[in-house]
Amino acid sequence: MINILVVDDHALIRKGLTLLLNETPDIRVIAEADSGMQAISRVRAQHFDIVLLDVSLPDKHGIDVLKQLKSEHPDIKIIVLSMYPEEQYGLRMLKAGALGYINKQSAPEQLVGAIYQVHSGKKFIGEAMAEQLLNNLIGESQELLHQTLSNREYQTLCLMASGKTLTEIAEAMSLSPKTISVYRGRMLEKMGLKNNAEAIQYAISRHLVLNP
């Protein structure tokens, strides 16, 4: 039996995933979490074969939750299940230690297949990410400017583009406004942009803004 922890702040999504997965004979959702800290607490208290982790959580960003889980439990198997498209967070999550990344709009069969594949010790990537990796490998895809950013700088860019103020970004990332200002400055410098307006325009044009 493959025991699953579902981490998502939307109760309806957690319930839907639970109903879907429990219909599969050898998969069971045995616990749920609606925040990053609750997910970390659940994993500390109980063993799970796989964690299904959302990117957008109310207290901690999915990347930060993923890194902490991997730090405390190096062998834990995590599949990121998110509304964000693969090109926005897929590669970052895999680099941070996830074994799979699936868009929530994917077919249910793909999720079940991903669980089986990850449980067997393999990584799972969807068609969109596979194509992106192949293009990068054979040199047909020029690296996008935002791919040069650190995770914190990238989060700052996305939150800026979503309309959040410096103070709101600091609160969302549990950091000080001064620290966010440093990340913003580094982000602008790395991307060769002059100001916030250019950064926001870039993010919107690359579809990096999506309501969770």
**If you average pLDDT over every residue of the chain, what do you get?**
87
Whether 122 and 19 map to the same domain: the answer is yes
User: How far, in Å, CA of 57 to CA of 37, rounded?
Assistant: 10
Whether 212 maps to a domain, the answer reads no
In this structure, the strands spanning 78-82 and 50-53 are: parallel
What is d(CA 47, CA 5) in angstroms, rounded to the nearest whole number? 9
Residues 130, 150: one domain?
A: no
The reply to whether 16 falls in a domain is yes
Domain span at residue 178 reads 145-205
Same-domain status, 110 and 194: no
- Consecutive H or E run containing 88: helix 86-96
- Higher pLDDT: 112 or 89? It is 112
Higher pLDDT, 209 or 104: 104
136, 160, 193 - which closes a domain: 136
User: Residue 212: which pLDDT band, with cuts at 50, 70 and 90?
Assistant: very low
Task: Residue 96: name the closest of 123, 135, 126 by CA.
Answer: 123
pTM listed for this prediction: 0.73
Do 169 and 109 share a structural domain?
Answer: no
Give the CA angle between residues 92, 97, 102 to the nearest 5°.
Answer: 65
Flag whether pLDDT at 194 surpasses 60. Answer: yes
Q: Which amino acid is present at 86?
A: E
Predicted local confidence at residue 142, as pLDDT = 46
Taking only the tens place, the pLDDT of each residue in 31-59 is 999 999 999 999 999 999 999 999 889 88
Q: Assign 89 a pLDDT band (cuts: 50, 70, 90).
A: confident
DSSP assignment of 146-189 = GGGS-HHHHHHHHHHHTT--HHHHHHHHTS-HHHHHHHHHHHHH
pLDDT of residue 104: 83
